[in-house]
Structure 1
C-alpha cells in the first residue's frame, strides 16, 4: 500500500517508530529537534470529492439591530421608508427561519421574491462566477466554453446544494422576443429551432433579467474583467439548462421574475460568524414595498467553499494555491462587484445595516 511505502521513507529519514496493530490506524513517534512527539493517523477515513464545509454553524440569532447608514436622495418624499418600516418588514427573530448558508441557495439581488431567502449578487450562479474570474486570472489563459462547462458541472458534482439558482425576468424575455420576432418563448426550454438565435443575443445586457450580470456586462471595463468571459459563461449556462437529457440541466434553477423593480431601500444583512442566516422575503405585499437584500456573512461562507473547489482545480494544473488566499481574492472582486452593482440599482436609495446576533 502507498502509505506503507511513505512510512518506510519516514523511518529511514526521520527516525520514526511505527506501530500498525490496526491497519487503518497508524501510531508513530517522531523525533524533531531532539524532542519526541506522538502522532496518530486515521488512514481508514474515506476521502470524497465533496466540497468541504469549512466551519460548523453554532448559533441561531435571537436579536436584531437596525442602523441607517445613508439616506435616500429623495428623503422626505412620498414612498420613503424609515427604521420603523424596516423593523416591521423584518419581523421578530423568533418568527424568522434561520438556515446554514453552507447548504442553502442564494437568490438574486432583487426585490421580487415573496418567499424567505438568502440573497447575493447573481444568486448561486453569481457566486460561482466570482471564483471563475479568479481562476482565469491565476491560470493566465482565456477560458474556452468547454473549460467553463467542465468547471461548472464539476462544481455541481461536488456542491452541497441540490441546485444552483439564477434569475431573469419577463422584461428581458420580451426584449429577446422582439429581437428575434418570436412570442411566447419558454426560456427554460425554448424550441430547438430558435435556440441558436437566442444564444447569439442572450448575453446582451437588456436580455439579462438579473441586475448583477447586467451590471457586469455594462461595466466590465470598470471592473477590469473580460466582458467575453461574462458573455461566454452566460451562453454556457443556457446551453446546459436547455440540454434536458443531461442531469446537470435539472441542477440549474432559473427563476423568471415578474413585474418591475419597486425596491425602496438596500439592506446589508450581517450575522455573527458561524451563526445561521435569516430567510427574509425581499417583497412584502401586505406592507406594499420591496427591498434589495444582501446577505454579507452568508455569502462569505459560500465563497470559502468556492475557493476550496477552485484550489483543487488549480492543483490539477500543478498550481498550488492557498484556499484562504484565493478566498481573499474572491472577496476583493466581490467588493468591487457590489460597489458597481449597488451603484446601478440603488444609487438613490437609503442604505441600512441589519445585524442579527
Structure 2
C-alpha cells in the first residue's frame, strides 16, 4: 500500500486531560434502507408517468379520429365531439406529461447529474486516492422553557427546548495516511446503474494519534465553553477531501465514533460495464425518448436495471512521520534482542 505524507502539521499539544466525552458520540438511526433508482424509495412503476402518457395517447388518437370523421362527413359526424375540447385536453395532458417527465422525476435529475466520468471502477479508484478528512465539531447550548397553547379548549403547555448559543469546528491534523480498502470487483456487479452506499472509516493508527485526537477534542471543548452553566455536545465527522468533485462527506448521514476509529456513510450513483457511459444513459437521450412518449418504459427499464452495492473505504491516519515510527520500533526491537542475548565468553 502506498503511504502518503501529509503537508499539514499537527497542532500544538493542548491539555492532556481526557474524560468520558470520548465515548459519548450519538449514533443516528440507521434503520432506513434506501433502494431503487437514485437511492429513492424502493423500486416503483412510475404510475403517474404511465397515466399521463396513456391519457395523452388516447386523447390524441380520439382527436385524430374525430378530425378524420369531420373531414369525411362534416354534415353528419358520428362522434359529435368538439374538436377544440379534444385538442385542448391533449395539449394539457402532453404538457403535464412533459413537466413530470423532465422536471419532476428522479430519473431526469439523476441523469442530469450523472457525468461521463462516473463509472463504478473510476469512482472506486478515486475514492481510494482521496485523502481522509476528520472534522471536530462542538456545539454549546442551553435549555429554555417555552409556553405553548395547544389543544381544544386551548391550554398552556410548558416545554423545554435546546437553544444553540455557540459552535466551534476544527480539522484534525495528521502527517501521513494510507488507504487500506478492499473494494469488490466492479465488473462482477452487472446491471446498468449502481446505487453505491459508501462507508468511510478512518482508523487512528497508533496511540500517539489517538492521544492527540483526545487533546484536540478537549482543547476545542474548552475553547467553545463560554458560560459555566451551558451544555455541550460534540461529534467527530470523518470523510474524504473532495478535490475531485465527489460528494464525500455527509454530516446528516450515519456517523459512529470509537476511540480508535470514526465512520460515516453517503451514497453515489454510478454506471457499470466499463469506463465509458452508454449513449442511452445521457440526459438528452432521455429527453428525446420523452418527446416520443417513451419515458415510462425507459424509466422502468432503468429502474429495474439498477443494482445496489456497498463499498467500504478504509483510511489510516497518523501524526507520526514514517521514519520516526520505524526508528522507534527498531530501537525497541534492538533493545529487546540485546537484553535476551547472553554475554559472549572471553576467548583464550
Give the TM-score taking structure 1 as reference length: 0.21
More strand by share: 2
More helix by share: 1
Larger radius of gyration between Structure 1 and Structure 2: 2
Give the TM-score taking structure 2 as reference length: 0.22
